[in-house]
Structures are given as C-alpha cells and as structure tokens.
Structure 1
Amino acid sequence: KAVIKAESDFDPRAVSHKGAQGLMQLMPETARGLAVTNPLDPHENIFGGTRYLALLLKRFGNDKRKALAAYNAGPERVIQSKGIPSIPETVAFVERVLKYYQKFHSSLK
C-alpha cells in the first residue's frame, strides 16, 4: 500500500515520464519479466509489483531500504553503490515509502 501511494497515489492509469505504468509503476521490461501482460490492470500490476518487491527483499537480505532503492533505481545501482545510491529521487522515494508504511501501519492499531 505504501509503495502504491508513493508511486501512483492510487491511480491505476498512472504512466510516468519514463514509461512506468499502473499502481506500482512497473517498467514495461520488468512487467514482462514478471508475466504481467497488462500493467494498467490493477490486479496484474499489484501481483507483479508485490512479487518484484518480494524478490528484491530476498535478494537484499530483507533490508527494506535497499529493496525499495532497488525497486526505484534498479538492483544493479544498489549493488554498485553497496547500499542506497545517492540519487536524490531514490533517496526521497525510500523515505517517502517508509513514511507511508509507518502511517498506514499505525492506523491499523
């Protein structure tokens, strides 16, 4: 939910200037790799996006910050920088998602 809020503000038809699509803003190549045939379909997009995030969490030893940075900037950039790349957009994305996560998580209590 936090990633969706940060990526598309819950707009299933969102398309970024870089071509990312849908609620979780999947890039076309990433969507294809996750067997998502229609990234603008909310169910497919969430299925693909959460699967991708789970793969990144596993790849980065369950480190949420690194996984989120990889979701935004790509796993290779996280590997190359040995952590969160010093890309302002990526740093802001990680902080924004974690802030939304905290907000949504605390509202459930």
Structure 2
Amino acid sequence: MRAHLVTHVLILALLTFSVQAHADIYRYEDPDGTLHFTDAPTDKRFKVFMRDIKKDKKLRTAFKLPGYARDPAQFEPIILACSREFGVDSSLVKAVIHAESGYNPTAVSSKGAQGLMQLMPSTAKGLKVADSMDPGDNIRGGVRYLRFLLDTFKGNESLALAAYNSGLSKVAKYGGIPPYPETQQYVAKVLSYRNNYR
C-alpha cells in the first residue's frame, strides 16, 4: 500500500513538473515492480512515459488539447468499437494498452514502437495504420493485430501476448513463450491487468 502511495505521489509530482518545465518524461520498471522516472535518460531501458505535446506542433494540433491526454476513459469508445469489430475481449485490449504505454498516446519506445499499443512502424504499415500517434488508428491496428495473433495461436492468449511482445518468430522458435524474462513478465502482467479490468 505504501509503495503504491509513493508511486502515485511520484507520478503526481512528475506530472506537475512536466507541465511546468515542458520536458519529455521517461520511465522503466524493474523486475520487482519498482518504477524509475527521469527527464534525462541514461539507460536504454527507459521508455517515453509522457511526451511534451506543447513542444510538438503536429501532436498539439492532432489532439486539440491544452495538455496531456492521459485519461483512460477518453479511449473507452474507441476500445469498445474496435473490440466488437474484431471480436477481441475489451479487457484484454485495455490491459495491453496499460502495459504498453500506460495510456500515453504519444509514447515512443527506444526501439521505435509508437502510440497507445506500441506498434512498430513496419507492423503499423502492414496493418494499414495511417498514423500511429492517432489513438483511433493505433487502437484499431493494435486490436486487429491481436485478433491475428489469437487466431494464429488458436485463442491461446498467453502465446498471442508473447508474440505481441517478442514477435511471432520467437514464439515459433521456442514452441511457446520464449525464455526471456521481459516477455514472461509481460505476459503475466497483461493477464493480471486483464483480470483487474474485468
């Protein structure tokens, strides 16, 4: 309980800082669940947690918002519509978004994955996603990809999530969830989030 409180206080402080100082904020999570935040990353494990929309004219225009779009409720209609369209459990979609970007529509990973569902440019292109930073395009592409993975693995959510994280070839190579701590933790985390969203 105390750890959660400290995390919330840190996030609140960072949100306040970012609005005042107008700087991108980066974070990474240790295997034990400890969160690290910085505005000057010195480690490749850091991923963009919050991008400064005010410095980016294109993003500011696209979102038409005075600050940061981080309220999960605002994406609910898009998530529900895409979940119905592709027949994917909406709680699973929310869990993936939660794990991938923390509901930050402008998140960009160190590997180049973008948006709410962290689509790699090549994956986004194959899914015909016009703009990965657009929440609607990103979620629709991500849910469509999840549907493909679920079909590929005959409804096995764990394998589908492992492929979403590490790639189809890695899951095929190992005949199951790859022996990578990051992927194993990712699958467990998303399934835990999914149960909470249910």
Q: TM-score, normalised by structure 2?
A: 0.53
**Which structure 1 segments of 5+ residues have no match?**
none
Q: Deviations over 1:3-61 (max 9, x none)?
A: 00000000000000000000000000000000001101000000000000000000011
Does 1:88 pair with 2:166? Answer: no
Instruction: Note the 1:69-80 alignment, pairs <5 A.
Output: 69-80=162-173
Match of 1:36 in 2: 129
d(CA) in 1 for partners of 2:189 and 2:112? 21
Larger Rg: 2
**Which structure 2 segments of 5+ residues have no match?**
1-93
Query: Which residue of 142, 151, 154 maps to 1:49?
Result: 142
Match of 2:75 in 1: none
Structure with greater helix percent: 1
Root-mean-square deviation over aligned CA pairs = 0.4
Q: TM-score, normalised by structure 1?
A: 0.95
- Which aligned runs of 4 or more in structure 1 are off by greater than 4 angstroms? none
Q: Which has the higher contact order (CA 8 A, sep 6+)?
A: 1
Taking only the aligned residue pairs, the percentage that are identical comes to 54
d(CA) in 2 for partners of 1:61 and 1:96? 21
Match of 2:85 in 1: none
Q: Deviations over 1:41-94 (max 9, x none)?
A: 000000000000000000011100000000000011001100000111111110
Aligned residues: 105
